[in-house]
Amino acid sequence: MAGPALAPSPALLAALHETLLSGERQSSAVRPEIAGYLLDHGLAPLHASLSADGESPDALCAEVWRLMLASVSARRFGVSTDAWRENDDYPDRYFPLLWLVLVPAALPAMPAVERLPCVAALFNLGEQLSGPLRATGNRLMAGLAGAPGALAPAWRAALERAMVQAGLLALSVTPPAAWRTYTPVARFDFAAVEPAFLPDTAVAAEARAFRVGSTAGVGVLLADSGGLTLLGVSPGAPAEATTTLDLAGGRLSLDGRRLMWRPPGAAQALCLAESLPLVAPAALAANEAGDVLLVDAASAQVTLGRCGA
């Protein structure tokens, strides 16, 4: 039986206030009425729900608060009343739904170690879904917020399913033997989110995900139609770096800054890319869908490209 919810400790309130002051100094978008609304309707319910289960949620709430204020600073959350709830076409419903509906409802049902990675992934995704993808992102988050329990057992799989349903992630597979071209799609800079993370290895994981390794741990990146979404970083390391990869339909390899593909039975390899957009290509990973992740030894960046006919 759940116990009474605990009020945020004085130490937590002081930490939240200091983070708020820092946000106010960095962005004119962080205003007291917006932060107060976010605290009262998002963070406080989350804290109450977690503490009612006998947990001490101060550390998690402090990190979630940083992400909340980051969305305000980026002008992706600017509400201070409930008017957005009555308007399905509100320009940026993604973050109100995330902070005020999904997070307080979904996180308490998750294992503690999965809570912050899930919130960070949803935040990162929302930051990417701007411009013409904003309305799609709003629909995606509305679906997740309408069934928050779906995230609890396996949130990465649930997020992937939601992205497929929203049209943000295509699972169609191009037969490897038909690959004739390589097109760079996006870059992801770990330095922007994990300063100590210097990628040196990569392996294809389940579905459209890649595990990227460094001495700082393993980052999981989802290759979606908008580029790469970081799903989280955890301790450990993937397999050794490789520059040659055998797939069901042939062999993919790095030859300096060239990307080569040898279909089964071919006398010689095809050059898919003559000059890769990397300074020092050091490792590759690929899946049967044609997603290719390249690691640049000269930076903290990885590059996503796609192979096709």
In a domain, 239, yes or no: yes
Decide if 120 contacts 232 (C-beta within 8 A): yes
Segment 249-285, tens digit of pLDDT: 789 999 999 999 998 888 899 999 999 989 999 999 9
- Structural domain ending residue among the three candidates 107, 139, 166: 166
- Structural domain ending residue among the three candidates 166, 190, 209: 166
In a domain, 16, yes or no: yes
Alpha-carbon span 92 to 180, nearest angstrom: 40
Q: Which amino acid is at 114?
A: E
Question: Does residue 296 or residue 89 have the better pLDDT?
Answer: 296
Residues 112 and 195 in one domain: no
- Structural domain ending residue among the three candidates 102, 131, 166: 166
Closest CA to 259 of 303, 213, 220: 303
Structural domain boundaries enclosing 180: 176-308
**Across the chain, what does the average pLDDT equal?**
85
Once rounded to an integer, what is the mean pLDDT over residues 5-30? 66
pLDDT exceeds 80 at position 48: yes
In a domain, 125, yes or no: yes
Residues 185 and 293 in one domain: yes
Q: Read off the pTM.
A: 0.73
Proportion of the chain above pLDDT 90, given as a percent: 35
Supply the pLDDT for residue 1.
40
In total, how many domains does the chain have? 2
Segment 91-125, tens digit of pLDDT: 789 999 999 999 999 999 999 988 998 999 999 88
In a domain, 2, yes or no: no
Residues 61 and 138 in one domain: yes
